[in-house]
Each structure stands twice: as C-alpha cells, then as structure tokens.
A and B are shown apart, each in its own frame.
Chain A
Amino acid sequence: MTTPENPTVSLDHVSRWYGNVVAVNDISFDFRPGVTGLLGPNGAGKSTILHLLAGFLRPSAGAVRVLGQPAWGDPHLFRRVGLVPESEAVYGFLSARAFAVTSARLQGLPDPDAAAARAIAWVGLEADQDRPMKGYSKGMRQRAKIAAALVHDPQVLILDEPFNGTDPRQRLQLMALLREMAAEGRTIIFSSHILEEVERLADEVLVILAGQLAASGDFQVIRRLMTDRPHSFSLLTTDDRRVASLLIERPEVRAVTVAEEGLEVHTTDYAAFTACVAPVIRDAGVTLLRLRPTDESLESVFSYLVRR
C-alpha cells in the first residue's frame, strides 16, 4: 500500500546502456501521486526512462520499482499501470471503440464495453469511435491510444509525448483529464520536449539532458532558473557602434561584442533588457533592423542547468 509519503514509482541509481552508449546515467527519483513531467530535448533519454518505468527495459544498473514491485519482467503490473507509447502505430483495421474494448478484454475486465465507453468519453472521441483508426488524424490516434491505456483505470499512467499531434483544444481537454486523474490520487508521468506543456500540467519536473538528471523538483523553481539565466541576443542596427556604447552602460547588459554582422549582447535580466532595448535605440535616432535571441533552444537551456 502506498501513501502520499511513499513513492508509487521509484528510480534508484538507474542506468541503462546499449553497448558503449549510455542512454540513462545514474538517475534516482521518487514519483508520487500527482503529475510529473519529464522534460528534455529529443534524444535526451526520456523515452528510455519511461520504458524502464513501464518494465519494458531492464536497467543495466540500479532498481526500478512500481507500486512496490520490480518493474522489469512482471506483466501482471499492467493491471495497475497504463502506458501510452510515443509511436503512432495503431491497429488500423480497428475502430477506437473496438481498440478500447479489446484492451479491456485483454485486461480481463468484467464489463469491457462499459469500460471502453467510459474511456472513449474521457478522451472525447465518441463522435468518431466507430470509424477504423487508419482514417484518423494524428491527434485522434493519440486520443484512441490514451483511451486504450485508461480503460482499466490504472493507478499509474505513463505517457510518452502524449500531446503530439493534438490541436490546442484537444490538448487542453487531455490536460484537464490528466489533472483530474492525478487529483484522484493517481500517479501520472509524462514526457515532453515542450516547456509550456510541462509548465501547464506538471506539479514536479525532471529535466533530462544526455541521459542525466539536469534538475528535478518543483516546476516553478526550475522555471525561474531557466528565466534568470544569462541570455544572448543578436542585433543589427543602422549604427551598431553607437548602439553598443549605449547598451554597455545599461545595468542589465553584461557584455556587448561587435560581430561580423551586427552585435552580440549578453544580458543577465531577460525581462529588463527586452523592455529597454527598443526605446534606447529609438531615442538615439538609430533604426533597429533585427533583434533575435541566439540561445533559446531547449538544449542551451538544459546545458545551462547542467552547468549549474
């Protein structure tokens, strides 16, 4: 029996390697009821971690436990665990309803039709539930997969990039559903490479980079770290040297470099810099031709967190 104090899912110094390639490197984390997001760029190791949690991969080192049991090699755990894979593959000849009913039957549920109807309603797929899935859009397939994973009302739900292909309305609907499920005491673990998805949904977050845990904990704290980090911008104006001399006097600007084309500006205060840069240039009678951040990729954000 797990309580809010006890983790429902745990990674204990888990590593996974393929030959000489280390996919996951010594990660420890306890998942509790609520929503936990795995955030990281593509190829960071998020899917490997989810597959370890779902018992689909054997850890090369360390231990993965789900609801008190070792995750690897016990199919009966899937009575209480649901997995939504990232792969788009579905049984194209089945309708979403038939897919959910089949899942319910394979779960050994007493009333598969009722369980399937409830899961289909959860994901809002009633209108298209009887059409073969081969004619579905990406977002509809995603919802059909989620319905099939929810059909047995699992205590732990693992979702790999669940919002891929969904439109904004469907995304909000799925997020509301997952939050509702978490509020009822379930453990929801999902991966995403999109910061905003994690921000909107997750109570806790694991930031994964190159198979390592770059940061973990409350999302707001990690978000602040991401926002407060040094930022770089590339500027092009009609008088770069003049603008450089003006900007270097600003307290929020740490350094200005005259580049081959335009200026490279480094700032420690993202909000203050973006608020002041246009007025400063305009008041000097110079025209701003281009302003763009140079380090906004997730990789650069995560690299910063790792360096900290």
Chain B
Amino acid sequence: MTRALLTLTARQLLGRRRSLFIVLLALIPILVAAVYRLAGGQTDPLPIEFAAGMLDALVIATVLPLTALVFGTSALGAEIEDGTAVYLLTKPVARWRIVLVKIAVAAGATIALVLPPAVLASVIVLGGDEAALTPALAGAVAVGAVVYCTLFVALSVRTSRALLIGLAYVLIWEGIVPSIFDVTRWISVRQYMLGTADLISGAPRDVLAADMGGGSALIAAAILTVLAVFAATRLLQRFEIGQRL
C-alpha cells in the first residue's frame, strides 16, 4: 500500500513541467561556482568566504526553500487542485500515512536535486580543501528539506494558494524578518539548517554560521515538523470534497 502510494506520488511529482524548472534552479550553484573559478578569484573574496556566501545565500536561503516549495506544494496540493486526489481519498488509507508519504517523496526529491549540485559547487570553489563540509551540508539540506516540505504539504491541504503564500513565507519570514527581530530565529528553518550544519561540526564556523546551537536547532525543527504533520493529517481528515475537488 505504501509502495503504491510512493510510486504514484513520485511519478506524479517528477512528471510535472515545473520539476524541470527546479532542475535548472538546482544547477545554478554549479554555474556560480564555475564562474568564480574561471574568473580566477582566489584572493578576493577568498574561496572559503565565497563558499560561505554561496552556500548560505544561494543554496540554504534560496535554492532549497524554492525546491521544497515546489515539491511540497505539489506532492498533495496538485492532486487536490486537478481533482485526482479523489482517487486517493476514496481508499482505506489512513490520512497520516498519505501525509507522511507525500512529505517523504517531496523531501527525498528536494534532497536528491539540491544536495549533489551544492556539494559539487563547494568542491569547485574550495578545490576539495574542505571535504568535511559535505556531511554538514548534507545534514543541513536534509533537515531543511524535511521541515520545509512538511510545512508546504500542510499548507497545500489548507489552501489553493499554497505556492504564493509559501513564496511569501520564504522571502519575508525566512529572508527579512530574522534580520529585524532576533527572536524569530527560533522559528526559522534556515537557522535550523545552519544549526544542524554546526552540530555536525564538519563545517568551518565561518562557512555555515549559525545563530542557534545545533541541539536547539534540531529540537525546534523536530517540534515544528511534528506539529505540521499533525496539522496536515487533521486537515486531510476533515477535508471536504466540495472545498476544492
């Protein structure tokens, strides 16, 4: 049952045209790293400084949330929008199972698309000098993908404008608000990712610098994820066909 749900979701998610856009988006860090390398910029900024800016501003703050946004809102939301969700919801499958599978597929696809180009880009910039960066980056991307996808799956069950609202969330809440209000880092997925990278400790502190401790970041990420799973399940249990199907 779960395998059928996984296969169906993966085929539906990756077969969409917007997935092609995401592939192109995920390749941008490689392009930026290659340009840096070809420009011969080895001193200003230093490779480590350039890698810091690239991974934080481009991968963690932009490519990953946007990829998670597209996959997270499509995994279940697209089925609700196009009317095919009715075939899923008329099966004796527990709603929590549907939610978890949708999150797993969306997060898996996000990690698969974002992580390899990010690792490759950092290798291009650093020339393999910072090999220990990879596990930290992988941990950060995994945490970010799971939390973001969970939030966006829940949002897509709640509203047909999930993509728009999610975009506003990424740009405003994750991008602008934490720089104004320090306390909001506790509910910032970006900070959870940086904290996770910090915890894995392979990352030099000035590459993926966190404003919160790794342990706190993981606990906060886990709490937010569980709450979002619970909300998505509850929303799906109370989903009425006339609402959007």
Q: Is A83 located at the chain interface by the 8 A CB criterion?
A: yes
Complex contact A105–B86 (CB within 8 A): no
Residue A89 CB within 8 A of the other chain: yes
State the Cβ distance, B160 to closest chain A Cβ, in Å.
15
Binds A, one of B92-100, B179-187, B222-230: B92-100
User: In chain B between 61 and 108, which residues have their CB closer than 8 angstroms to a CB of chain A?
Assistant: 82-84, 86-95
Which label, helix, strand, loop or mixed, suits the secondary structure of the A interface?
A: mixed
Tell me the complex Cα distance, A2–B84, Å.
32
Please determine whether B4 and A105 come into contact, CB atoms closer than 8 angstroms. Answer: yes
How distant is A259 from chain B, measured CB to nearest CB, in Å?
A: 43
Is there a chain A Cβ closer than 8 Å to B44's Cβ? Answer: no
B8 at the interface (CB under 8 A from A): yes
Considering the complex, which residues of chain A in the window 59-103 have a beta carbon less than 8 Å from any beta carbon of chain B? Answer: 73, 75-79, 81-83, 85, 87-91, 93-94, 99, 102-103
Q: Does A107 make an interface contact (CB < 8 A)? A: yes
Chain B residues whose C-beta falls within 8 Å of the C-beta of A75 in the assembled complex: 89, 91-95
Segment 174-205 of B: residues with Cβ below 8 Å from A: none
Write the nearest CB–CB distance from A155 to chain B, whole angstroms: 13
Q: In the complex where A51-B241, A75-B95, A105-B1 touch, is A93 in contact with B90 (Cβ < 8 A)?
A: no
A151 to chain B, nearest CB (A): 10
- Judging by beta carbons under 8 Å apart, are A87 and B83 in contact? yes
Cβ of A56 within 8 Å of any chain B Cβ, yes or no, is: yes
> Is A123's CB within 8 Å of the partner chain B?
no
A56 x B240 contact (CB < 8 A): yes
A106 located at the interface, meaning its Cβ lies under 8 Å from any Cβ of chain B in the complex? yes
Known: A57-B240, A91-B8. A78 touches B82 (CB 8 A): no
Query: Does the CB pair A85–B242 fall under 8 Å?
Result: no
Q: Sorted from nearest, which 9 A-B pairs have the closest CB atoms?
A: A89-B83, A105-B4, A56-B241, A106-B91, A87-B83, A79-B92, A83-B90, A78-B92, A76-B92
| 13 A-B contact pairs sorted by A residue (CB < 8 Å) | A56-B86, A57-B241, A75-B91, A77-B92, A79-B92, A83-B90, A85-B83, A85-B86, A89-B86, A91-B8, A105-B1, A106-B91, A148-B87
